[in-house]
Amino acid sequence: MTVFLIGFMGAGKTTLGKKLAPKLQCTFVDVDHLLEQREGMAIKNIITTHGEPYFRQKESETLRSLEIENKIISTGGGTPCFYDNMAWMNAHGITLFLNVSEKAIYSRLKTVDREQRPLLRGLDDEGLRLFIHDKLRERRPFYEQAQLSLDPISAPLNDVADKIRNYIR
């Protein structure tokens, strides 16, 4: 079983993935974390040093280089939107869109250190709200290509695991 978790930053992909992996007897992998290990620097530094196009290329290469069998894979928020990553993930596993509301995403992201997230750097609260609205509208067509969709805030973990198991059957 291979499950790709997709959704906007702050949707809870990593948090859910870590909890879901043992329930589905899989190993958890975070693409961003693996990319940071391979590049020897944080995502923010990769983007600052090499630019976003370089980062997106390396992100796609990292995704496709994974041993994906029996994995729950947390992707970056933009991963499905570049190259043909979404089609690739749909062809190689189950894609699960964590469909979290703008309000919930804003509530989560307003408390993070925005300087640590290159796309949020320099945004005040209103700028953050506008960024989330615009980026989510831009990315939603990619996210909606997922085979499964749910709001992890309102779905208990066992329900999420059952939904994935039922999809496989």
Instruction: Flag whether 158 is in a domain.
Output: yes
| Residue 41, in any domain of the structure | no
140: containing domain: 2-30+69-168
- pTM (2 decimals)? 0.94
Could you tell me which residues are beta bridge partners of residue 72?
3, 28
**Per-10-residue mean pLDDT, the chain, length 169:** 96 95 96 96 93 96 96 97 97 96 94 85 94 96 97 88 86
Give the pLDDT of residue 115. Answer: 81
Asked whether residue 82 is domain-assigned, the answer is yes
For residue 48, being part of any structural domain is answered with no
Residue 157 lies in a domain: yes
Name the DSSP class of 76. Answer: P
- pLDDT of res. 155: 85
Report the run of H or E that residue 28 belongs to, with start and end: strand 27-30
- Residue 118: per-residue pLDDT: 81
Our count of domains for the chain comes to: 1
- Whether residue 86 lies inside any domain: the answer is yes
Query: What pLDDT is stored for residue 134 in this prediction?
Result: 97
Reference 10, options 160, 117, 92; nearest CA is 117
Q: What is the rounded CA–CA span in Å between residue 116 and residue 118?
A: 6
Alpha-carbon span 113 to 35, nearest angstrom: 21
| Residue 97 included in any domain | yes
Residue 117 domain-assigned?
Answer: yes
Residue 104 is part of a domain; what is its CATH number?
Answer: 3.40.50.300
CA 130, CA 106: separation in Å to the nearest integer? 10
pLDDT of residue 22: 96
Q: Please tell me the total number of residues recorded for the chain in this structure.
A: 169
